[in-house]
Amino acid sequence: MKKHPDIEEILLTENQIKRKVGEIARQLNRDYKNKKPIIVSVLKGSVVFLCDLIRKLEFDHIIDFISVSSYANATESSGVVRLLMDLRESIVGRDVLIVEDIVDTGLTLAYLKRNLLTRKPKSLKICVLLDKKECRKQFIKVDYVGFTIPNKFCVGYGLDYRQLYRNLPYIGILKPQVYRRK
């Protein structure tokens, strides 16, 4: 696919992502063998990653969705995480794996972890494709990480800016003039 005109630079190609998803799936296949976890996908950003990942999983599992938002239409977290849609399934006594596209300030995952732990799962682990380590405002332990990336606003492979660019098959850095434009 040709580079979108709003993209400054491709950070991770389709192939690099594909290989990494395979690696993460191999770790999960080892760790969840003979378990039947609930995989919680955090809408909307994680759906592309989730779809590729679960097709590589060899253990039984169910998927469920939760929707939270803190970025509204901005490139920086508002600092307030809002629960927009809750899970359908009960997670009491279940192994739970949260699947996320990116951890940045850590506020979203810290909120989710706190919230889900009150429901008494048997275990709760976190899997993220991208980690902006240097941006953390709240500590969060991540169990499976794809790539550590720099503090640049990225889009593609599920990640958006103002709900756009989620369809790009690669992860790219958005041109600053795009978000300064408004």
Give the catalytic positions in this structure. Answer: 104
3-state class of 112 per DSSP? helix
Going residue by residue from 102 to 121, which x/- string records binding to ligand PRP, judged by CB under 6 A?
xxxxxxx-------------
Q: Tell me, what amino acid is at 26?
A: R
- 139 class by beta-carbon count within 10 Å (0-12 exposed, 13-18 middle, 19+ buried): exposed
Residues from 13 through 42 that contact ligand PRP (CB under 6 A): 42
Return the residue of 52, 95, 101, 131 that touches ligand PRP, per CB under 6 A: 101
Q: CB 18: neighbour CB atoms within 10 A? A: 12
Rounded Cα–Cα distance for residues 42 and 92 (Å): 19
Cβ proximity to ligand 7HP: between 121 and 172 the closer is: 172
Interface contacts to ligand PRP, rule CB under 6 A: 42-45, 69-71, 77, 100-108, 160
Residues that bind ligand 7HP (CB under 6 A): 71, 102, 104, 153-155, 159
